[in-house]
Structure 1
Amino acid sequence: MDLELNYFSNGPEFSDRSQLTQPEITQCMSVMEALRNWREADRALSEASRRYMRLNESDMRAIRMLMQAQKQGRVVTPKDIAHEVGISSASTTKLIDRLVVAGHLIRAPHPKDQRTICIDVTPQTAQAARETVGRQHARRFAAAAALSSDERDVVVRFLTALAEADEPQGDLAAQ
């Protein structure tokens, strides 16, 4: 187990363990360790995808958002990309320029607003992303399919509770 997990998870000042036996505490720690291992594997896979496509994190976020928008039939402007990625309009222009030159994006006239343009993912980039993400999704789906129906229900409840537990609280929510 890594230092962060040991430091933050083992202290009784953060979690009430009075109703748990030592084997139950150990089992909970194993769940936390398995989550950490999955997060590391997910992070490594994302990094490998970025290297394969020669993209940085902002580029990948923009492309993911554009592909989702294309699936939904939505038009995306540079302003939409700036909002999604959390960067300035100047940085968005540089991002789009870089991805157009690299053959990942295309600019097109906006269908309703002549003052702006819309941005689309090239068919080649969409195909490459679908293939890599598709393979990843298929492996994850197979892992879920290998569980029983009851086990999947437990996992869904756990992950939903974990997502709720990870909502920013107090000082973090204000930022």
Structure 2
Amino acid sequence: MTGFFYDDDRQRATSALEALRLYQAAEAAMRRRTRESMSMGENELLVVRQLLRAQSRGQQVKPGDVAKYLGISTASTTSLLDRLESAGYLRRVPHPSDRRSVYLEPTERADDEVRATLSTMHDRMHQVAAETSPEATEAVIDFLTRMQEAVDSVERASVLRR
């Protein structure tokens, strides 16, 4: 069928995609507010969050990992890391066995500001997830994983056509 008269399956899919779009818009607005409150750009906030996640997992992050994560050049990565270091959000730590290499660590300031800015939102999101039934949680995880794969495959296909 075409137009506004969808069958039930198409209407259900359309409703799910609309809910996903609304969530994405809300999350983008939240990230904008967070960046503004911390006086950061999108990539700076992404790096701070990457470093905090890695630290909580006991993982080390090198500048090359940041460049790969953001998909930017090493020169752009160096400038970004310099800004974050100057602002007090990260520190460069010498690699223990390679004098030419460094690890990146978030500072206490980064952790404090991210927690202050995002903790209420994370608590609310966690509460919603905790209140969701195990079956619904499995369905959401499956849906989002498959959506990610669908989006990623479009990106790969467009790159292959160039």
Specify if TM > 0.5: yes
Indicate whether 1:103 and 2:96 are aligned.
no
Quote the sequence identity (%). Answer: 33
Residues 70, 145 of structure 1: alpha-carbon distance in 2 compared, 3 angstrom cutoff: closer
* Structure ID, larger Rg: 1
Q: Which has the higher contact order (CA 8 A, sep 6+)?
A: 2
What are the ranges of 5 or more consecutive residues in structure 2 without an aligned counterpart? Answer: none
Residue 155 of structure 1 corresponds to 140
- Structure 1 83/103 Cα, relative in aligned 2: closer, same or farther at 3 Å? same
How many residue pairs were aligned? 159
Structure 2: distance between partners of 1:154 and 1:76: 33
In structure 1, what is the equivalent of residue 17 of structure 2?
32
Hey, what's the Cα distance between the residues in 2 that align with 1:160 and 1:75? Answer: 26
Query: Could you state the TM-score of these two structures normalised by the residue count of structure 1?
Result: 0.75
Change (3 A) 1:130 1:23: same
Q: 2:36 aligns with which of 26, 51, 72?
A: 51
1:67 maps to which of 37, 52, 67: 52
Instruction: Give the unaligned 5+ runs of structure 1.
Output: 1-9, 13-19
Looking at secondary structure, tell me which structure has more helix per residue. 2
| CA gap 1:148/1:80 in 2 versus in 1, 3 angstroms | closer
**Pair 84,22 (structure 1): closer, same or farther in 2 beyond 3 Å:** closer
RMSD over aligned Cα atoms = 2.6
